[in-house]
Amino acid sequence: MSMRIRKGDKVQVIAGKDKGKAGKVLKVLVSGNRVIVEGIALVKKHLRKRSESEPGGIKEIPSSVHISNVALLCPRCERGRRFGIKILKDKSKIRECTKCHQPL
């Protein structure tokens, strides 16, 4: 299991124009260096009209952000935090907030 940021994680943007916003990771790009986060780095996409039921127009969709610009959202700190890896007695690894030690 990867110890990095994963799909479904709640993250907060820590740099750039969306700094402070939080959202769920929708996708980790193949490179592993970029993520797509719900509601973050929105870009307008022009959709072509396909039919009467799909009239086209402009839709805002999230574009990718570099993984270094987001941090896991710690529910106890209520903000994006760096995380460390803790090895449990049974040798399994967990991510934890480096500030409050909340498992993430």
Which lies closer to Zn ion via its Cβ, residue 61 or residue 100?
Answer: 100
Residue 94 CA to residue 85 CA, distance in Å, equals 6
**Residues near Zn ion (CB under 5 A):** 74, 76-77, 81, 97, 99-100, 102
DSSP-assigned beta bridge partners for residue 23: 11
| Least distance (Å) between residue 95 CB and Zn ion | 11
Which lies closer to Zn ion via its Cβ, residue 34 or residue 99?
Answer: 99
For every residue of 26-86, DSSP letters joined together read: EEE-TTSSEEEETTSSEEEEEEPP-SSSS--EEEEEEPEEEGGGEEEEETTTTEEE-EEEE
Which lies closer to Zn ion via its Cβ, residue 24 or residue 99?
Answer: 99
| Least distance (Å) between residue 63 CB and Zn ion | 28
| Least distance (Å) between residue 57 CB and Zn ion | 41
